[in-house]
Structure 1
Amino acid sequence: MKKIYLSIALLAITATSFGQRINIWTDGALGNNNWLNSGNWSQGALLATDIAQMNKTSTINGSRSILKITTEATSDATSEIIQSGTYVATVTVTDNGTNPFEGTAVGIYHNTNAYSASTFNINCKVTCTNTGTGNWFSIRNLNAGNTLKFGSNSALTFSTPDVFLDNAGIGTIGATGGTTTYEGTINSTVSSTLSFSGANGVHTFLPGVSFGANITNLKFFFGAGMTWNFNTADNVVIFDKTIQTNNAVAYALNVNAKNCLAAKLDLSSGSLLTVNVNKDLENMKTVALAGASTGLTLTIDDAVTKLHFANSSAETWAGSITVNGFKPGVIRFGTNNTGLTTAQLNKISGAGGTVALDSSGYLVLASALSNKDFNSFTSSIYPNPVKDVLNINTQESIQKIEVLDILGKTVLTNKGENTVDVSSLNNGIYFLKLTSDKGVSTNKFVKK
């Protein structure tokens, strides 16, 4: 593997500076990988107006100011920048706000025109800023099959409100994008939106990745068929702000780690987002759907038992939700039956029937619930999950006890007692419906 060992502060300046040149790392005849030796560069010692084009092993052993970091345009090799000590690479563009994908806005550029299997690994601290009038900074990974990696020692710090991470770019709309992976920290000195783009491109988040407090939005910006993979560690929340969509195209988000997200889903008009939920998410924020043609598809793996959102009744739901793999008692909105409005419930399909929220906020088939108030009185049950005897705690006098399966079918009945034996039931999700003179109270439980 070709490696570039970082041990300096690297400064890249304006893309429009006089005398700009491409200075290619060759390692020359010296063979010592020394960044400062002019003999290791195709055009001599680095100048402030240079584009440092990397293609061989380099040890960065001193400070230099350069324009930007790129990879060689005609190489399918793997290059890597490794963190050494506490040095920081600072890339400063001077773009004036014409196009975030133009050369003057792009500070890190992985582009191998003649190849489609090149990898560029950045495993160091990088500070990215723009001293022009534009409010953005861009990182581009161009061409199908190319991979840009930000390793476990990477720490990206931005200072612009808008950051673009592009896997294909405006200039290649419809082309298959590359892959970018992230496993370091990402932060900003100002409130920033990270906009991900690239038709059919893939952005994958790995264990170790984290977003700082000033990263307020992650946005599907542009590129039909773009996919995000959250392959992070279980029970480590890596993002808790807002996930947005942009443009009327289809995107996909794969949840492969338990409770990795605690974010709001905010879909723009006409956009289509499929969330493949392969692990439990217990602390999601609200869901908002702008525009009648906006669609959210929740595809739920059979192993998932919890997909919990906050009360979303105050959010705009002009669009609709389709649930694939629906099981009553898995999806939840809020903590009671006010988590969605009736109009919002009517925009949910895929359950095989009309849905409702039970007294705990779980999405169930309406046929499984009483026509009375879903939360007529307070009750609780324990233990949950349960193996044999389920205990009931309530101040009311129970007249009837019913156990319903996830399809709303009554599978057990009992008279007014404070316990019910469920040992005969198959393992799975059930609902305990209690009837008193005040009405009905419903609790979800898991038989193990």
Structure 2
Amino acid sequence: MGDSPMFFSEGFRARNWEFIFGVLPVSGEKDHGTGSSDLNPVSHHVHRSRDEQYIIDLVTPTCDPQLIPFEGQIFPTLELGVKFYEEYADAAGFETRLSTPKKAEDGTMLYRYVLCNRAGLKPKKKIPSNTKGNEPKKQRQTVSIRVDCMARIVLRHAGNRGYRVNTFDEHHTHNMVPEGQRHLMNSKRNVNYIHQMMMLTGMKANIGPMKTFRFYKELVGGYDDVGCTAQDFKNYGRDLRAFSDGVDARILVDNFRDKQESCPGFKFSFDTFEDTTLKRLFWVDDCSIKNFKLYGDAVSYDATYRTNKYKLIFTPFTGRDNHGRCITFGAALISNEDVESYSWVFSKFVESMGAHPLILITDQDPAMRKAIENVLPNTSHRLCMWHILMKFAEKLPNHLMKDSELKEKFNNIVWPDLVEPSVFEEKWHCLMDEYDLDGNRCPP
């Protein structure tokens, strides 16, 4: 490869153009063309661009002769002519773009230019000076794919006959896209309904676009069969979020209303702020109501789920059936952990179930305790065992915290599935006496 220091008008070295696009400077150097192949025959051409002159290797793509347009060819409509050239470009291995058309005074399209998408050159921008000094202002560096390609077709209006191919130039200043990479061309990429549903399902499960793309790739058997790129998955997810931004709460409420129409046993209630943003939401279905009537003696209410992007707290009502499996009695979304929000949720729960639970297990939130006293005065309030165990480090001496025998005896007393109150009390007091814990404020 030559070492000529000559620069083009765009500021690129000739040697770089030679390596990437097969361009050689006109300086009597040895021809270092990229060579030719059966698929992309190469010919040399002296090309002038702006104020520079250089030799360029022209590539002529080959494909099915029936797909190659020719000068004088007639198309009934302009759309058919453009589509024919785009199909030829797909088969040849390059992409197209539409240039500025020429129209008559009555709006009739006189000329339509369809170019290779690498036609022209990147315009040279003026670098603004820094306001603090004379140094040039830093700008973002962008890469252009344009290499002054001359391939194009010009469709001219031919009266009642339609449009005629006035000019057809099949020579390119760059190589064609290899056969194994043509599925990545813009014309081949398409985010279809299956892709959209895959993305939507992933977003519902809080799975990002990249993981969704890789999972879909494994489903279809490889990247060549996906039909689009990972960036297309990202762009669709971005557009979907932008579409639902500001109206997602309304979409949720509308979905609940549709579900209520199709399922009369489904119930929900919601409240909003003055600016119509969602404040709190509660919902139950007929299955949850039936479960509560059968297994609703003891209900757990958990308000520790706060990982969603809307900063709403997910608070489910859960319990256990006769087989020890967890079941859901209802759920709510709240924006604030205050007495008003908890009182609203508890009142909607009692209204939907038609009865209050005998026992309600929660954490030690003071606002929640106050709401239970106001709305559920006949319900026994108990604290969650997990929160009780968290207090052991404060209540027990350090040497007992490391006693494995004490932990084993404690677990045998506290965690059995079925135990009579009198048996529990007897074992508990025996444990307190054995380790002399009566004087400590260890919760029984």
Normalising by structure 2, report the TM-score: 0.26
Query: Comparing both structures, which one devotes a greater share of its residues to helix?
Result: 2
Larger Rg: 2
Query: Comparing both structures, which one devotes a greater share of its residues to strand?
Result: 1
Normalising by structure 1, report the TM-score: 0.26
